[in-house]
């Protein structure tokens, strides 16, 4: 008898990537095998994102395409999961009757039981209550990397930034226990994984729902002590909740990477207040100074939103000047776009698109200068790089990342490298977004 197959079409953030790995693991526990083509799969899971309108449009196009796919594959089960399933609920099924199951963000860990009940014709079609408390993680993840593992440590967000839909679709913050997280890391180490990224919408809030302070720093130190762990990363940090104890843990622990991703979003105190970010420009600069003091070699990266409602030329210049003052290693820059259901969408003084684009270009020019300067300092140095494989299908050149998350390319030159190898690379040239060098003994 031919085994049933599945396909997962994933969109969105790293948390969605982690969720997709757990969906795949549960499907394999039910006896399904990965299909080579989603057109032929018996179960298709569309794991959705609704952070931006452009993402929603792409996903709705794919869901629409599945109507024809399903017509050619009688019995195919279409599951729509993730943030769009949470936000739109049963309305999606009414508009797209080809959807069999709708799985909200709080039901990832229970997907296997939900699908089994549906197949037995006993289950519901819509599971999107945010009142459900996730069970601790159990079972398998079918990880996409052979050496690097996503480890979710918490779910949801309590911050309610006025531009962000996440708290409405991911719910309030819920933390996994330290022991459950440590067990998952240990199991991954036993399978050969070396690098671990701890995931949460705001990792600095980890453990607050337990009523205990400084839990995230304690978690970092616990994971650092696990034999076989070689690198630890985490995302994402909120400046309001990033404290000295976490920075000291990075400075003092051997395996925690010296890379701080701290979104500041705007350099204007007026706009930060309108965004409900909970800190000021001055507090952010104090945080940067603390990082530089404890971890001088650290790379600092950030997120920035341009054109938030009410942003004047002076507000934008505050942002531009902060970028120049800090000297970020990299920045992810975005034009503000409305998200229905968020307070910012209803704000007056929406900034015209042409002005937002012009400001974005100026910001990117300034950041490109900073990124290149930060990389040029590394020329001549020998850096530890974790090998990720051939670059752009070119077996003559490999790529990998430094502890500070810099992308590095180097020629193979007759040597054999394996995924996850630690390679010493002497940096010879610096570009805006990457470094190039040669492997040394």
What backbone torsions phi and psi does residue 185 show, to the nearest 5 degrees?
A: -65, -45
Strands 77-82 and 101-103: parallel
Confirm or deny that 161 is annotated as ligand binding. Answer: yes
- In 10 A of CB 241, how many CB atoms? 18
Confirm or deny that 164 is annotated as ligand binding. Answer: yes
Nearest to 307 by CA among 278, 268, 340: 268
Q: State both tokens at 286.
A: 């104090």
Q: State both tokens at 294.
A: 């404890």
| Residue appearing with tokens 């229905």 | 340
CA distances from 253 to 119, 183, 259 (A): 48, 20, 13
d(CA 170, CA 158): 10
Q: State both tokens at 300.
A: 């600092």
For residues 43 and 69, the answer to whether their CB atoms sit within 8 Å is no
Confirm or deny that 253 is annotated as ligand binding. Answer: no
Q: What angle do CA 261, 265, 268 make, to 5 degrees?
A: 130
Task: Label residues 158-169 b or e (16+ Cβ within 10 Å = b).
Answer: ebebbbbbbbbb
Confirm or deny that 83 is annotated as ligand binding. Answer: yes
For residues 197 and 150, the answer to whether their CB atoms sit within 8 Å is yes
Confirm or deny that 49 is annotated as ligand binding. Answer: yes
Confirm or deny that 13 is annotated as ligand binding. Answer: yes
- From the annotation, which residues make up the binding site? 13, 49, 83, 157, 161, 164
Annotated binding site for [4Fe-4S] cluster: 13, 49, 83, 157, 161, 164
């Amino acid at each position: 008898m031919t085994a049933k197959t599945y396909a997962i079409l994933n969109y969105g953030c790293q948390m969605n990537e982690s969720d997709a790995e757990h969906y795949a693991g549960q499907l394999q526990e039910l006896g399904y095998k990965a299909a080579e083509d989603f057109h032929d799969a018996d179960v298709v899971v569309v794991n959705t994102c609704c952070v931006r309108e452009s993402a929603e449009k792409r996903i709705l196009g794919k869901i629409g395409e599945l109507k024809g796919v399903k017509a050619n594959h009688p019995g195919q089960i279409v599951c729509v999961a993730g943030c769009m399933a949470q936000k739109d609920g049963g309305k999606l099924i009414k508009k797209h009757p080809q959807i069999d199951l709708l799985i909200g963000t709080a039901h990832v860990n229970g997907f296997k039981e939900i699908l089994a009940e549906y197949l037995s014709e006993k289950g519901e079609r819509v599971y999107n209550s945010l009142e459900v408390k996730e069970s601790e993680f159990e079972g398998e993840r079918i990880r996409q990397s052979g050496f690097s593992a996503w480890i979710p440590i918490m779910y949801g967000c309590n911050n309610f930034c006025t531009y962000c839909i996440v708290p409405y679709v991911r719910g309030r913050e819920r933390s996994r226990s330290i022991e459950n997280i440590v067990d998952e890391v240990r199991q991954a180490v036993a399978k050969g994984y070396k690098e671990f990224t701890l995931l949460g919408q705001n990792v600095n809030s980890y453990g607050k729902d337990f009523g205990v302070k400084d839990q995230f720093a304690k978690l970092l130190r616990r994971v650092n002590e696990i034999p076989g762990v070689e690198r630890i990363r985490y995302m994402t940090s909120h400046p309001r909740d990033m404290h000295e104890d976490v920075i000291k843990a990075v400075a003092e622990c051997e395996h925690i990477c010296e890379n701080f991703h701290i979104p500041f979003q705007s350099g204007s105190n007026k706009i930060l207040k309108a965004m409900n970010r909970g800190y000021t420009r001055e507090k952010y600069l104090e945080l940067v100074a603390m990082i530089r003091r404890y971890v001088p070699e650290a790379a600092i990266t950030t997120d920035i939103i341009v054109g938030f409602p009410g942003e004047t030329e002076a507000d934008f210049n505050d942002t531009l000047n902060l970028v120049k003052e800090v000297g970020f290693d990299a920045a992810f820059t975005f034009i503000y776009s409305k998200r229905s259901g968020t307070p910012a969408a209803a704000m007056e003084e929406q900034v015209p698109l042409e002005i937002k684009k012009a400001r974005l270009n100026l910001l990117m020019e300034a950041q490109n200068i900073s990124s290149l300067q930060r990389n040029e300092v590394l020329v001549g140095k020998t850096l530890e790089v974790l090998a990720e494989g051939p670059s752009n299908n070119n077996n003559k050149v490999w790529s990998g990342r430094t502890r500070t998350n810099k992308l590095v390319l180097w020629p193979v030159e007759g040597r054999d490298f394996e995924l996850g190898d630690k390679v010493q690379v002497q940096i010879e040239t610096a570009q805006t977004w990457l470094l190039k060098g040669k492997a040394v003994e």
